[in-house]
Structure 1
Amino acid sequence: MSTHAAMPARGRTRPGAHARGHSRSSWAVPVTLGAAYGLYASFILRNNGASAGRQFWYGLITAVALAALCFALGRIQHTMLPLVRAVAYGALTAAAIGLLVGLTDSSVLRSAALGLAVGLGMFISTFYIYYTHEKT
């Protein structure tokens, strides 16, 4: 009786695979985005005055929050449909931009409208990218 020459092995990984599947960019990109966002939020909150502890803590909290949300979205994005993934990226972008505009002492309507406009642009662009690159 003949058998197959190469039997598929179960449980083996590639030689270059990480143990948990985390690459450097999976945490470096959210940390960089969070740091830039937190710095910008603290500079907006400063409002041409002297720097104080309030701006530092606000920038740190917003940086950690955005980095954690970006990391979490990056970890689960492959399990989502392209439409849901685009909605998630659009909502995250809309909330982040709306918060930054709200720090400039503008009206709530202006910050919501600008956040919605930028979030809609992010939704359209990410949906186009994910839908056209979808593997069937």
Structure 2
Amino acid sequence: MATHATPSARHHISLSWGVPLALGAVFGFYAGFLRRTGVAVSWWDVLFGVVAGLVFVGVAYGLGRIQRALPRELRAAAYAGLCGMSIGFLHSLTGCSILQAVGMGLFFAAAMLVASYYIFYMREK
């Protein structure tokens, strides 16, 4: 009897790592760009962007790993919190007041809460 070889999963990055890495790269690049104080980009701006991106990747990957254990309401709230904190942090780098950054974060968190709850509710029916 001939057996078929199963394709190895070692040669590609799964979505559990790919999505947080892609989002973290965009987040880190944008955070480093917003932090620029002068005309030229300094190494501190690059380091800031890399660290911000790595923190985002870690939190997004951790949330992705535990999301199946959470009920849909809590899962939607967790994604809303991640989105709101990320947008609020990026907005705070523009030099605005803390109230504007918190307001922007809350606005996007509320939008993400509604959208993610709707998606999770429709997929689990």
Q: What's the TM-score once normalised by structure 1's chain length?
A: 0.81
Determine which structure has the larger helix proportion and give its number: 2
Secondary structure, in 3 states, of the residue corresponding to 1:106? coil
Q: Which of 59, 68, 85 does residue 49 from structure 2 map onto?
A: 59
Gaps of 5+ in 2: none
RMSD: 1.9
Q: Distance in 1 between matches of 2:8 and 2:119?
A: 27
Matches within 5 A, 1:97-136: 97-135=87-125
Q: Which runs of 4+ in 1 moved over 3 A?
A: 15-19
The total of aligned residue pairs comes to 118
**Partner deviation per Cα, 1:65-119 (whole Å, 9 max, x = no partner):** 0001111111110010000000000000000000000000001000000010001
Matches within 5 A, 1:79-90: 79-90=69-80
Q: What's the TM-score once normalised by structure 2's chain length?
A: 0.87
Which 10-residue stretch deviates more, 43-52 or 65-74?
A: 43-52
Aligned residues with identical type, % of pairs: 34
Q: Distance in 1 between matches of 2:43 and 2:87?
A: 23
